[in-house]
């Protein structure tokens, strides 16, 4: 079967990851004249997603829901409805309405991917949202002490240093639409998001990393602003890059976009209480590895530090436009 993407002259961009960081970035990218495909992790096993995954034998819906909401062209109230999490009710407390709707759509259409596609149409989603695979995967981590931690939600809580992560089944089939989107992409963006539990699970699905390596597209990595306790403690920008290289055994991207804006001391102190620190930009190390670096003030602080979606998406769009101009 041949999957046709695009259908217009907009640059085709594929973003890969999961979690809050990816959703924040997509809220900015959807305002640009881009043909967007989001490939989203299927390793989540915590909270509402974990319960639905276990009880209904379905792809965990949480990260998919977040991305759908970010890309949806709907009234703010409808977006809040998708994100609404029940606080009471036997068996209902903790579930988000969007997760339950995705579970219902799987039953109605007979297939999770079809359900996501139909829900995307209903919510006027600006782009395509695809799970990395049509089956849930189990994420495991080998720690530096040799122990194995099983489960995406348990890995950051183990209190140990990660040596590597891997998935089961190791030979899970990637979604054909995801592979085709990567092959046709003009640009591929990794991150932002949890390095070991949101980004790498996608790259460990067979063919996905290989297709990225073989692609002639522009490839961009968005580095996190803060380290993540239990995952990237003490990591610099080059440490993030090295972890990706160690798992894939290939260089995956051309550009690294990082924040170099000052984070107020009181904000740093608040994050330090939870064990998170600013990701250090070791520029010499990154450039020695052969990557081009775009550094800018890319953060906003409200309750939490977040990427400035507008500025980040503008940098990505300018890189893509320049790349497309060179191709012409």
**pLDDT tens-digit profile, the chain (328 residues):** 333 444 468 999 999 998 888 999 999 999 999 999 999 999 999 888 889 998 998 999 999 999 999 999 887 888 888 889 999 888 888 899 999 999 999 999 999 999 999 999 999 999 999 999 988 899 999 999 999 999 999 999 999 999 999 999 999 999 999 999 999 999 999 999 999 999 999 999 989 999 999 999 999 999 999 999 999 999 999 999 999 999 998 889 999 999 999 999 999 999 999 999 999 999 999 999 999 999 999 999 877 899 999 999 999 999 999 999 887 7
Q: Which pLDDT belongs to residue 57? A: 87
Provide the pLDDT for residue 74. Answer: 83
Task: Note whether 218 and 143 are within 8 A (CB).
Answer: no
Rounding to the nearest 10 degrees, give the CA dihedral for residues 116, 11, 21, 176: 40
Distance CA 153, CA 196 (A): 11
User: What is the pLDDT, as a whole number, of residue 3?
Assistant: 36
Per-residue H/E/C for the chain: CCCCCCCCCCCEEEEEECHHHHHHHHHHHCCCCCEEEEEECCCCCCHHHHHHHHHHCCCCCHHHHHHHHHHECCCHHHHHHHHCECCCCCCCCCCEHHHHHHHHHHHHHCCHHHHHHHHHHHCCECCEEEECECCCCEEEEEECCCCEEECCCCHHHCCCCEEEEEEECCCCCECHHHHHHHHHCCEEEECCCCHHHHHHHHHCCCCHHHHHHHCCCEEEEECCCECCCCCCCCCEHHHHHHHHHHHHCCCCCCEEEEECCCCCHHHHHHHHCCCCCECECCHHHHHHCCCEEEEECCEEECCCEEECHHHHHHHHHHHHHHHHHHHC
pLDDT at 131: 95
Q: What is the pTM of this model?
A: 0.93
pLDDT value at residue 2: 35
Q: Which pLDDT belongs to residue 4?
A: 40
Going by C-alpha positions, the residue among 104, 37, 101 that lies closest to residue 65 is 101
Angle at Cα 157 formed by Cα 202 and Cα 270, nearest 5°?
A: 100
Give the HSE-up count for residue 189: Cα atoms under 13 Å, Cβ half-sphere. Answer: 29
pLDDT attached to residue 5: 41
pLDDT of the residue at 8: 63
pLDDT at res. 52: 92
């Amino acid at each position: 079967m041949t999957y046709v993407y695009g259908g217009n002259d907009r640059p085709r961009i594929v973003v890969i990851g999961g979690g809050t960081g990816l959703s924040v970035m997509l809220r900015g990218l959807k305002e640009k004249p881009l043909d967007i495909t989001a490939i989203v992790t299927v390793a989540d096993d915590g909270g509402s997603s974990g319960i639905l995954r276990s009880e209904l034998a379905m792809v965990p819906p949480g990260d998919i829901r977040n991305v759908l909401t970010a890309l949806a062209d709907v009234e703010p109230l409808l977006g809040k409805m998708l994100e609404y999490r029940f606080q009471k009710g036997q068996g209902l407390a903790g579930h988000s309405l969007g997760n339950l709707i995705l579970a219902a759509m799987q039953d109605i259409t007979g297939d999770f991917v079809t359900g996501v596609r139909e829900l995307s149409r209903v919510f006027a989603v600006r782009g395509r949202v695809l799970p990395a695979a049509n089956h849930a995967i189990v994420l495991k981590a080998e720690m530096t002490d040799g122990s194995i931690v099983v489960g995406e939600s348990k890995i950051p809580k183990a209190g140990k240093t990660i040596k590597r992560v891997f998935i089961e089944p190791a030979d899970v089939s990637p979604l054909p639409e995801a592979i085709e989107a990567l092959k046709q992409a003009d640009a591929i963006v990794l991150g932002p998001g949890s390095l070991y539990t949101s980004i790498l699970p996608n790259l460990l699905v067979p063919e996905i990393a290989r297709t990225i390596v073989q692609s002639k597209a522009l490839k961009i990595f968005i580095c996190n602003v803060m380290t993540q306790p239990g995952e990237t403690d003490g990591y610099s920008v080059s440490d993030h890059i090295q972890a990706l290289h160690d798992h894939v055994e290939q260089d995956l991207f051309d550009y690294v976009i990082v924040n170099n804006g000052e984070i107020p001391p009181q904000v740093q102190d608040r994050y330090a209480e939870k064990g998170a620190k600013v990701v250090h930009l070791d520029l010499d190390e990154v450039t020695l590895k052969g990557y081009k670096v775009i550094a800018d003030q890319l953060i906003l602080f409200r309750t939490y530090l977040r990427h400035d979606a507008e500025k980040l998406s503008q940098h990505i769009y300018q890189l893509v436009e320049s790349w497309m101009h060179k191709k012409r």
